[in-house]
């Protein structure tokens, strides 16, 4: 296995992996996620692949077939007089194909993202994990991530309206 930037030829597998990860989210939060859909369309993926501020790192097998990905976004928080300016590499989506889980593909991807973040002059690598996705939370904690902030919700009911 090795890691490289994703290419247009990877789009069909990216769609498959996007469906896999979306299904996990739809199982946890069917009130928010629509099963059978994907986060990005083929056309959107083609545009993202051209954007150096939104790199997609592909874990590929010996046949150069994608077995996992890390969608990233290079971000700089807006200027604020009460925060130190810094760059971060945000992991927008990380997925390992079901057939490759348990083979340390996710660890290799995350370690690659960290190295890229250093090369890009970033202060941190961040991501969001949905409540209820204990497998992902456990993996990220194993990789050394810690909660930075918590977003809480109150779902409005009929009597609130």
Spell out the residues 6+ positions from residue 86 whose beta carbon is closer than 8 angstroms to its own: 76, 77, 122, 123, 124
Q: Is the pLDDT of residue 161 over 80?
A: no
Which of the four pLDDT bands, split at 50, 70 and 90, describes residue 16?
Answer: very high
Distance (Å, whole) CA 71 – CA 18: 10
Report the pLDDT value the prediction gives residue 77, as an integer from 0 to 100: 72
Assess contact for 74 and 33: CB atoms under 8 A.
no
Residue range 96-143, pLDDT digits in tens: 999 998 899 999 999 999 999 999 999 999 999 999 999 999 999 999
pTM of the full structure: 0.91
Assess contact for 94 and 69: CB atoms under 8 A.
yes
**CATH number of the domain at 2-160, out of 3.20.20.80, 1.10.3430.10, 3.90.1150.10, 3.40.630.30?**
3.40.630.30
State the burial class of residue 56 (Cβ atoms within 10 Å of its Cβ: 0-12, 13-18, 19+). Answer: buried
Looking at per-residue confidence, does 21 or 78 come out higher? 21
């Amino acid at each position: 296995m090795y890691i490289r930037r994703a290419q247009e030829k990877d789009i069909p597998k990216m769609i498959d992996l996007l469906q896999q990860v979306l299904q996990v989210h739809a199982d946890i939060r069917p009130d928010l996620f629509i099963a059978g859909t994907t986060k990005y369309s083929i056309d959107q993926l083609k545009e993202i692949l051209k954007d150096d501020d939104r790199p997609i790192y592909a874990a590929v097998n010996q046949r150069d077939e994608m077995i996992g990905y890390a969608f990233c976004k290079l971000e700089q928080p807006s200027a604020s007089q009460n925060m130190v300016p810094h760059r971060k590499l945000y992991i927008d989506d990380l997925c390992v194909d079901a057939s490759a889980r348990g083979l340390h593909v996710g660890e290799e991807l995350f370690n690659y993202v960290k190295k890229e973040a250093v090369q890009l002059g970033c202060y941190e690598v961040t991501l969001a994990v949905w409540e209820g996705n204990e497998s992902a939370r456990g993996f990220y904690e194993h990789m050394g991530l810690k909660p930075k902030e918590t977003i809480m919700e109150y779902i409005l009911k009929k009597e609130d309206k």
